[in-house]
Amino acid sequence: MQISDVYVGLGEEVFAQLIRSISIGKLRTYQIYEGFKVRAHLHKVNTESLRKSIPRFWVRISEREEDFAKDLAQAVLVSHLDMITAVLDLLGVPHENGFFAKDMDPKPYFTEGWENRVMEKFHGVYPDAILAFYINHLRWELLSATEVFRPASPSAA
């Protein structure tokens, strides 16, 4: 499974929610604004340009443009570090403000059923679309998942 499979597996509606959740301020804070702007083929990154670009972004994701998909994931995830920190705390995963230490193996912390525990705990606290994306991002990046996890909640499926 590739990261573009996660977006496609969660669907176009969830994808649009992810794009609308990107924080321009967080992109600047973590110094990824310029790189994202170039990869996204935008002259300027703001809420209006992101919203208008959703259909074009979806086509690029559907065509499995992996470098763009990875940069997009980074933009979405840095916009939700508070949620990431809460999820990792729930699972007992050591981290530094939502980031794993370089030489740490986090895999043992992801015990059977962790995905549903995260969804149950944070449903209504954070948007289901963002939670589902982060869960799948972890499954893709750390756990070599072969299929997309689709939560039972109708708003994130």
Interval 84-128: pLDDT, tens = 999 999 999 999 999 988 889 999 999 999 999 999 999 999 999
Packing angle of the helix pair 66-78, 3-10 (nearest 10 deg): 70
Tell me the whole-structure pTM to 2 decimals. 0.92
Distances (CA, A) of 145 to 2, 33, 54, 78, 107: 9, 29, 26, 22, 12
* H helix or E strand, kind and range, residue 115: helix 114-122
pLDDT (0 to 100) of residue 154: 46
Type of residue numbered 103: D
What is the model's pLDDT at position 132? 97
Average pLDDT score over residue span 25-50: 96
Q: What is the pLDDT of residue 155?
A: 47
pLDDT of 156 reads: 45
- The radius of gyration of the chain from alpha carbons, rounded to an integer in Å, stands at 15
Instruction: Give the CA-trace dihedral at 119, 125, 129, 135, to 10 degrees.
Output: -40
For the stretch 38-71, pLDDT in tens is 999 999 999 999 999 999 999 999 999 999 999 9
DSSP of 40-107: TT-SS-SHHHHHHHHHHHHHHHHTT-HHHHHHHHHHHHHTTHHHHHHHHHHHT---BTTB--TT---G
- Other CB atoms within a 10 A radius of the CB of residue 23 amount to 16
CA of 5: how far to CAs of 92, 94, 96, 103, 123, in Å? Answer: 28, 28, 28, 27, 23
What pLDDT, on a 0 to 100 scale, did the predictor assign at position 53?
A: 98
pLDDT confidence bin for 157, thresholds 50/70/90: very low
Region of 41 (left: φ > 0; alpha: ψ -120 to 50; beta: rest) is left
